[in-house]
């Protein structure tokens, strides 16, 4: 999924950076910028953002459906901050015009926390309605969306493991068969 997010960012002509807690490599991404910060999510983002004066987008790695158009819509609202909600009250993507003014509010209803942060910081904030950025892959049922709505690496990987669409009486599901 991370590879799909990186490809989407590059297709939108952005230079992605992966913020991580440990060294890693990603096949096919030898030129990828990686910053290692051995901190929790909020602390790592705050540390990175405080040292970054320009615009910044925070895109979660589990957004396998992300594409050029959805990222451009996030980054072109004209607001100081733009945010995409996730299921269950989470935040899947944030764009901030001045990164050093941002403070991460992830965990426990982060969408509302980020909106409150924007208001308290006197930042104009747009809520971006994006199916592709709303769909994160956290649960088994989320795999349906990957198999239906993308052709990227995540879908190819799922197929290589034998995952496929299962037609049920009222909804579509996912089953795993021997590849």
pLDDT tens per residue across span 136-168: 999 999 999 999 999 999 999 999 999 999 998
pLDDT tens per residue across span 93-119: 999 999 999 999 999 999 999 999 999
Which part of the chain has CATH 3.90.550.10? Answer: 2-134
> Mean of the pLDDT values across residues 32-51?
95
Residue 134 has pLDDT above 90, yes or no: yes
Cα–Cα distances (Å) from 59 to 78, 171, 172, in that order, read 18, 29, 27
Q: How far apart are the first and last CA of the chain?
A: 20
Contacts of 151 (CB under 8 A, 6+ apart): none
pTM above 0.85, yes or no: yes
Residue 179 has pLDDT above 80, yes or no: no
Per-residue pLDDT band at 170 (split at 50, 70, 90): confident
Instruction: Out of 3.90.100.10, 3.90.550.10, 3.40.50.170, 3.30.420.40, select the CATH number for domain 2-134.
Output: 3.90.550.10
CA dist 107 and 102 (Å) reads 16
| Per-residue model confidence (pLDDT) at position 122 | 98
Contacts of 78 (CB under 8 A, 6+ apart): 126
């Amino acid at each position: 999924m991370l590879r799909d997010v990186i490809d989407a960012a590059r297709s939108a002509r952005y230079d992605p950076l992966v913020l991580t807690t440990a060294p890693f490599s990603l096949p096919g991404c030898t030129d990828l910028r990686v910053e290692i910060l051995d901190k929790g999510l909020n602390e790592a983002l705050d540390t990175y953002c405080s040292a970054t004066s320009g615009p910044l987008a925070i895109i979660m790695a589990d957004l396998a459906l992300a594409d050029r158009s959805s990222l451009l819509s996030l980054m072109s609202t004209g607001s100081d901050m733009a945010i995409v909600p996730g299921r269950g009250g989470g935040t899947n993507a944030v764009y901030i015009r001045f990164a050093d003014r941002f403070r991460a509010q992830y965990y426990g209803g982060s969408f509302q926390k980020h909106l409150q942060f924007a208001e308290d910081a006197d930042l104009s904030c747009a809520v971006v309605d994006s199916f592709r950025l709303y769909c994160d892959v956290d649960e088994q049922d989320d795999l349906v969306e990957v198999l239906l709505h993308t052709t990227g690496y995540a879908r190819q990987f799922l197929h290589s493991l034998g995952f496929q669409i299962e037609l049920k009486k009222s909804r579509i599901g996912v089953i795993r068969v021997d590849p």
